[in-house]
Amino acid sequence: MLQPKTLEELTSYLASEQKTVFLFTADWCPDCQVLYPSLPEIEAENTAFRFVQVDRDCYLDLAREWDVFGIPSLVVRQNGQELARLVNKQRKSKAEINQFLAEI
């Protein structure tokens, strides 16, 4: 999973032709901590997507711009356009994320 270190690096993924899942997380978030061990499996089971983990606290302006106020949350983009979102304050399971991605 890609973890951008700068805003420039993060924005380089926005206009990609590849479907890109932006996963907003924060290390202090208990629901994110529960999800972290499943991330490699989620990524391996969804090879049609590129995964970018976004530290919500480091990119707070982007999170606000995209209306991401609950974490963990996922925003899927392709060619600069949003395709889908799973944004709420609920804990997300591996099965729920896989189902969400299968429907895109």
Taking CB atoms within 8 Å and a gap of at least 24, the contacts of 77-85 are 77/14, 77/16, 77/19, 77/20, 77/22, 78/16, 78/17, 78/18, 78/19, 78/20, 79/15, 79/16, 79/17, 80/14, 80/15, 83/19
Q: Average pLDDT of 19-30?
A: 96
Question: pLDDT tens for residues 54-73?
Answer: 999 999 999 999 999 899 99
Per-domain boundaries in the chain: 7-91
Q: Which of 10, 23, 29, 63 is catalytic?
A: 29
58 is catalytic: no
Average pLDDT, the chain: 94
Q: Which of 10, 32, 35, 76 is catalytic?
A: 32
Q: What is the pTM of this model?
A: 0.94
Q: How many helices (H) and strands (E) does the chain have?
A: 5, 4
Q: Which CATH class is domain 7-91?
A: alpha beta
32 is catalytic: yes
